[in-house]
């Protein structure tokens, strides 16, 4: 091997690196071994895992009697009368436990299979692997790929005295970065493989027996893999088989070369004779139509009778005879090149870290079929319980993981499949009832509502509930509830905003995952603002305005008419909308960071008629109530004052409607409901007047302007504005915003 020193100390070891070491490890007869260890059954006893009347896993002692997977239970008992059969864990009807149990004599009509105990054991095994290997890709519940390239290189350099990166960069006279690496000494493979109990593939007949640094790297990788297998056996009691090679495809073939409880090392010089007898269907992605096409090119007559005969009659040594040009002409340029390299042991796929689950599903096949809504709800609750337990376990292993959508699959009596999905909002308290409620919404999509408000489901042969797109929740993917967990505070603060939004807003509008942090906050706050009722609005906080006599700050102020400075009036979305509406593209004015004392609540109401914002600054109200010494509590006083102001505003619209109706009757015209804002009067100027005089003047002014406003129709909507100032009276709520370009013009002062 004439590799240069740069190959040894490169930062990344890619698919073409000479020191690449990939291992594939799987548990021997995983399900059967899990049950054997759980029940403390000796490993030499024949054992099989049973699901209903079939076998899904068979240990090696039972295979000696000719028992295989998917063999019927009765036939397996005939071949081996002393066979130990263990049924998988199940959920039973009426079972209140959140975990599956090993029930006696379970039946498919009343129970549902659960593989959760096996998944938990798989997590334990991967955790042991991660202690010795930095890069792990979970292939299935009982197998994984491990990339030992980086730890192998560190051991190789220290064990064989290869120069370090600092020594090479110093350009010592002994070696430089462009110099070839010295050849290794001859290795005694039989002696070196004894500690790891590894098997070595015989070399090709036409290859030389010269050891390379790649061989030494594979040897070190075999040592690390043997240590991992030993740790799994010592801690959990499970035996594993492994394969060590230079890529994933060869490592997987080597792991099945000798089983159980063994591992195999494949040197590059032994590759050709090792692959020669393998069938095409044994290679990854060549067991389907692509493999049939390749076999048809080898022997067209053998592919006529079916795929099974094709896979048996076509081996890799026969595919090697097909030229590359013929493969590309028949399969396409890219597919032909991929097949040509794959059958020769070339695999450039990298080991990707996939220890975290991306989806999870709980399904049930009904025998016989179910037809009623009550039956479907019963099994839906069991599916939700299964998913709840699995998601909680996944969140313990990977904190912050959460599914974006929840999906339901249904198959009817005609074997037609249907799928529905909705967003799955985030919640800090995950329960099976929370999943059941969202699953019930999906189930209603498959049903027909009857006049008596019941649902007709039809015939259902299979039902599945699944989570998809499980990812770590970023700040922009949570709802308001995810940012601020509910906490009890002695004094109100801005955190109360999120708590009120959680109790008043729709979960679909607030908790739907979003893509950006700023967009999620603005959408959630806008939905919460549009859905406020009078009772819920009593707990909404907002920053207080300037106190009387305090100096005016030169820093930009926030508008207090809506939540967090979002100035556009929010419209309440229809119930059919699952996600939150897009907020208006308005930029809020920048604001300085507020101190703890500035975070005071404000009670806000948006008039549905004129879009006027009625707000009560509780900080100012608290000072006035302290001077008056009222008998009610502080919260009750705030709410009563806010209700009084809101009622006065609504009564004004009612009075305008009555006046319009009277005028219409006199002129024999249909009345037009008033949607204009309350007009300004002399009482809204800076001159102080008595409440009686202000009220009388406002009534006269309104009566004069009413026909004009009725004929004009609805006034153009204006931006919500702040109405909470330091010294305002009741009629001050009808003052138009001075900063708004759409506000009504001020009326001229009239002399008495």
Q: 3-state SS of 224-262?
A: HHHHHHHHHHHHHCCCEEEEEECCHHHHHHHHCCCCCCC
Q: What is the bridge-based pairing of β-strands 84-87 and 47-51?
A: parallel
Calpha distance 554→323 (Å, rounded): 80
Helix, strand, or coil here: 577? coil
> Euclidean distance between the first and final Cα of the chain, in Å?
109
Torsion sign (Cα): 294, 295, 300, 306? negative
* pLDDT in the model for residue 259: 87
CA proximity to 729, closest of 698, 700, 691: 691
3-state secondary structure of 746: coil
Cβ neighbours of residue 401 closer than 8 Å, sequence gap 6 or more: 356, 394, 395, 470, 471, 472, 473
Closest to 589 in 3D by CA, of 392, 695, 739, 422? 739
Tokens of 119: 């998944």
Structure tokens at 687: 């001159």
Angstrom distance (rounded) from CA 576 to CA 579 = 9
* Beta strand pairing call for 198-200 and 263-265: parallel
| pLDDT at residue 169, rounded to an integer | 58
Q: Kind and range of the H or E element at 460?
A: strand 460-472
Please say whether the beta carbons of 497 and 486 come within 8 A: no
**Phi, psi (5° rounding) for residue 662?**
-65, -45
Specify the pLDDT at position 180: 65
Angle (deg, nearest 10), helices 634-666 and 618-628: 110
Q: Cβ–Cβ contacts within 10 Å for residue 659, how many? A: 18
Domains and their CATH numbers in the chain: 1-21+148-268 (3.30.70), 29-114 (3.40.1170.60), 276-355 (1.10.150.20), 359-473 (3.30.1490.100), 480-548+557-606 (no CATH), 617-752 (no CATH)
Residue 7: how many other CB atoms lie within 10 Å: 17
> What SS3 class is residue 654?
helix
pLDDT single digits (tens) 648-680: 888 888 888 888 888 877 765 555 555 555 544
Contact 211, 112 (CB under 8 A): no
Neighbours of 174 (CB within 10 A): 9
Burial label for 478, CB within 10 Å (0-12, 13-18, 19+), is: buried
3-state helix, strand, coil in the chain (%, to 5): 40, 15, 45
- DSSP 8-class letter at 186: P
- The strand pair at 359-370 and 460-472 is best described as antiparallel
Tokens standing for 269?
A: 């010089």
For the full predicted model, state whether its pTM sits above 0.85.
no
Whether 125 contacts 233, CB under 8 Å = no
Do residues 100 and 91 make contact, with C-beta atoms less than 8 angstroms apart? yes
E strand residue ranges, 443-512 = 448-449, 455-456, 460-472
- Specify the pairing of strand 22-27 against strand 143-147: antiparallel
| Low-confidence residues of the chain: pLDDT under 50 | 1, 302-312, 475-477, 481-600, 623-631, 679-694, 704-715, 717-728, 730-731, 733, 737-744, 752
| Residue reference for tokens 């009629």 | 731
pLDDT digit string, tens, across residues 203-252: 766 666 677 888 889 999 999 999 999 999 999 999 999 999 999 999 99
**Nearest to 714, CA basis, from 598, 626, 609:** 609
Rounded Cα gap, residues 192 and 198, in angstroms: 9
């Amino acid at each position: 091997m004439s590799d240069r020193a740069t190959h040894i100390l490169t930062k990344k070891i890619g698919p073409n690196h000479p020191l690449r070491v990939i291992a594939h490890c799987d548990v021997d007869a995983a399900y059967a071994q899990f049950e054997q260890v759980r029940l403390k059954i000796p490993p030499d006893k024949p054992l099989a895992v049973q699901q209903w009347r079939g076998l899904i896993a068979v240990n090696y002692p039972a295979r000696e009697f000719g028992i295989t997977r998917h063999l019927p239970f009765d036939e397996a008992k005939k071949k081996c009368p002393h066979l130990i059969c263990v049924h998988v864990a199940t959920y039973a009807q009426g079972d209140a436990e959140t975990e599956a149990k090993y029930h006696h004599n379970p039946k498919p009509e009343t129970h549902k299979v659960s593989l959760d105990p096996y998944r938990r054991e798989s997590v334990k095994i991967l955790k042991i692997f991660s202690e010795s290997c930095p890069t792990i890709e979970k292939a299935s519940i009982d197998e994984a790929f491990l990339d030992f390239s980086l730890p192998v290189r560190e051991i190789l350099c220290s064990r064989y005295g290869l120069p370090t990166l600092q020594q090479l960069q110093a350009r010592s006279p002994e070696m430089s970065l462009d110099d070839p690496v010295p050849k290794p000494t001859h290795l005694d493979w039989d002696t070196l493989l004894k500690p790891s109990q590894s098997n070595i593939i015989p070399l090709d007949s036409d290859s030389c027996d010269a050891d390379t640094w790649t061989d030494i790297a594979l040897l070190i990788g075999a040592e690390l893999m043997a240590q991992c297998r030993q740790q799994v056996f010592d801690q959990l009691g499970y035996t594993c088989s492994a394969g060590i090679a230079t890529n994933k495809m060869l490592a997987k073939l080597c792991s099945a070369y000798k089983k159980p409880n063994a591992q195999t090392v494949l040197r590059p010089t032994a590759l050709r004779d090792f692959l020669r007898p393998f069938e095409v269907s044994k290679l990854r992605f060549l067991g389907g139509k692509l493999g049939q096409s390749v076999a048809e090119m080898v022997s067209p007559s053998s592919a006529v009778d079916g795929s099974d005969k094709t896979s048996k009659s076509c081996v890799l040594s026969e595919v090697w005879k097909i030229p590359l040009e013929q493969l590309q002409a028949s399969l396409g340029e890219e597919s032909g090149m991929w097949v040509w390299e794959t059958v020769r042991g070339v695999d450039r796929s990298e080991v990707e870290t996939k220890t975290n689950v991306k989806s999870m599903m709980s399904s049930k096949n009904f025998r016989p079929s179910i037809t009623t809504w009550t039956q479907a709800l019963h099994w839906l609750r069991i599916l939700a319980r299964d998913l709840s337990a699995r998601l909680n376990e996944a969140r313990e292993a990977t904190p912050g993981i959460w599914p974006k959508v929840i999906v339901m699959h249904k198959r009817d009596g005609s074997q037609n499949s249907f799928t529905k999905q909705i967003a799955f909002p985030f919640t800090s308290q995950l329960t099976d009832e929370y999943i059941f409620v969202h699953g019930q919404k999906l189930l209603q999509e498959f049903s027909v509502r009857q006049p008596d408000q019941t649902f007709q489901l039809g015939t259902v042969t299979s039902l599945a509930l699944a989570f998809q797109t499980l990812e770590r929740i970023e700040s922009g993917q949570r709802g308001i509830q995810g940012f601020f967990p509910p906490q009890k505070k002695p004094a109100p603060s801005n955190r109360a905003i999120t708590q009120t939004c959680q109790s008043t807003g729709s979960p679909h509008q607030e908790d739907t995952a979003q893509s950006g942090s700023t967009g999620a906050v603005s959408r959630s706050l806008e939905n919460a603002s549009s859905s406020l009722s009078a009772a819920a609005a009593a707990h909404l906080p907002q920053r207080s305005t300037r106190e009387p006599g305090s100096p005016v700050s030169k820093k930009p102020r926030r508008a207090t008419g809506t939540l967090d400075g979002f100035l556009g009036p929010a419209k309440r979305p229809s119930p059919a909308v699952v996600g939150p509406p897009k907020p208006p593209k308005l930029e809020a004015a920048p604001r300085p960071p507020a101190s703890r004392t500035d975070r005071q609540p404000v009670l806000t109401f948006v008039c549905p008629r004129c879009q006027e914002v009625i707000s009560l600054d509780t900080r100012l109200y608290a000072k006035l109530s302290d001077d008056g010494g009222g008998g009610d509590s502080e919260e009750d006083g705030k709410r009563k004052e806010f209700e009084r102001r809101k009622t006065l505003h609504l009564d004004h619209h009612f009075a305008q409607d009555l006046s319009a109706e009277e005028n219409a009757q006199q002129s024999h015209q249909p009345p037009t409901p008033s949607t204009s804002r309350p007009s300004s009067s002399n009482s809204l100027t800076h001159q102080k007047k008595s409440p009686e005089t202000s009220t009388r003047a406002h009534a006269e002014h309104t009566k004069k302007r009413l026909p004009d406003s009725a004929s004009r129709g609805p006034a153009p909507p204006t931006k919500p504005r702040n109405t909470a100032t330091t010294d305002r009276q009741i009629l001050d709520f009808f003052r138009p915003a001075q900063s708004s370009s759409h506000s009504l013009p001020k009326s001229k002062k009239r002399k008495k």
